[in-house]
Every structure is written in structure tokens, then in C-alpha cells.
Amino acid sequence: MKYLPLGSVVMTARSTHPFMIIARMFKKPGKQEYFDYRGVPYPEGNINPENIQCFDREDITEILFVGYECEIEERFQEYLSSKRGRT
């Protein structure tokens, strides 16, 4: 599975508001559950911690913008892929 880069903006099934991805393979503190992504409302950002959402790729209904990709991102994608089976 290839993750969307940080900064990508998506629509999810859980909201009618766009979200910008700020984290990937996110584990909620004190929980054993992992999510593919963590996002903040776009364009507001992290102005209210209660508005941050965790979601999986299956929850994404539309990709509005794909974030910056470079060689470092490609290496990090490989790292994420190697960790995916261990979560």
C-alpha cells in the first residue's frame, strides 16, 4: 500500500469538510489501534484539537490534492511499507 504524502487534501466518508493529512500510520495514545492517516480540517488547520480526525484509506472518498513527493518521500514510503505488517 502506498500512503498519500503529508499535505494531501482529501474528502472522507465521515465528513463533508476536506481534511489535510498530517500523519500516516498513526496510533492513538493509549490504544492498540492504528489508522492509515490523521488529518486536520482544511484550510483552517489545527485550531481545535477536537476537529482532528483519524481515518483509513477506505474512508477516503476523493483526493483533492496530492502533497509534495521527492526522493526522501519515496524512501519513507518504503519504511512505512516495511512496518505495515508489524502493526
DSSP 71: H
Give which of 10, 11, 40 is closest to 23, Cα–Cα.
40
The model carries a pTM of 0.86
Residues 22, 51: contact at Cβ < 8 Å?
no
**pLDDT higher than threshold 90 for residue 13:** yes
The predicted-structure confidence for 37-62, as pLDDT tens digits, reads as follows 999 999 999 999 889 999 999 999 99
* pLDDT given at position 31: 75
